[in-house]
Amino acid sequence: MTDRLRLNGHEVEEAFRRLALHMPGRTPNAKGPKDQPGAFRSVVACILSAQSRDANTALAAARLFAIIETPDDLLALPEAQLIGAIRPCGLYNMKARNLRRLAASLIEEHGRVVPRTRAGLMALPGVGRKCADIVLAFTFDEPVIAVDTHVNRVCNRLGLTCQTTAERTAAELEARAPDWVRADGHFWLIQFGKAVCLSQRPRCEACFLSDLCLWLKRQRPSTSRME
């Protein structure tokens, strides 16, 4: 049994080397906030994406961007019409409130320009660390690994990080991830979380990281490798 909480630097490199080898990486057809042209649309799509499937987020975003283009358009849109457009992504009352607050903030405090920094983005209504990092990575091409629920689970099971929230995981991952993984790391970790390290039933028997995984070592005290 291990009482280690984190992989060491060499193991982190090795884990990412294997993820790069086995996972497809950046997908040109990524949906939702990752495929939006421009920072304003990306932030809006991020707010729509909370607890929503990518396809539903993409549908809601397409319906909304068919009737608005700018923060002014968004703020001027009657509430019923806004809710009607974004209904496919769920939680539409709360998201409509956040979108209207976002538009007002951009107009009144930011000259209608989306901030390019994490702190600036996170100061916008309805924007948390994950959303800020997605905008930084996919709109502003910053070398940032955005952490969603899949990335958070994989990082903390494997031992890339040892944290209790996605926000803390993102901060620790930023400190520990080698530079060469930052462009595609988000995709590798999500793909691995969806294909192998599943939420309810991780496929440890088929996992190419099983000899490194600290979670598995804690489950199987007498073995350090999958036999």
- Total residue length of the chain: 227
Q: Write the interaction track for ligand SF4 spanning residues 201-220; mark x where CB under 6 A is met and - where it is not.
A: -xxx--x-xx--x-xx----
Task: Let me know if 130 is a catalytic residue.
Answer: yes
Q: What is the phi/psi pair of residue 175, to 5°?
A: -75, -30
Annotate each residue in 67-106 with x if it binds ligand SF4 (CB under 6 A) or - if it does not, as one string: ----------------------------------------
Contact 92, 83 (CB under 8 A): yes
- Kindly determine how many residues on this chain lie close enough to bind ligand SF4 according to the rule CB under 6 A: 13
Calpha distance 44→61 (Å, rounded)? 8
Three-state SS at 49:
coil
Task: Give the DSSP letter of residue 141.
Answer: -
Q: Is 157 in the site for ligand SF4 (CB under 6 A)?
A: yes
Residue 211, SS3 per DSSP: coil
31, 34, 95, 130: which is the annotated catalytic residue?
130
Per the listing, tokens 């005290």 go with 221
Check residue 31 for interaction with ligand SF4 (CB under 6 A): no
Question: Minimum distance between the CB of residue 218 and ligand SF4, rounded to whole angstroms?
Answer: 10
Q: Toward ligand SF4, which CB reaches closer, 116 or 203? A: 203
Residue with tokens 């068919």: 66
Note the residues at the interface with ligand SF4 (CB under 6 A): 157-158, 196-197, 202-204, 207, 209-210, 213, 215-216
Q: Could you list the active site residues?
A: 130, 148
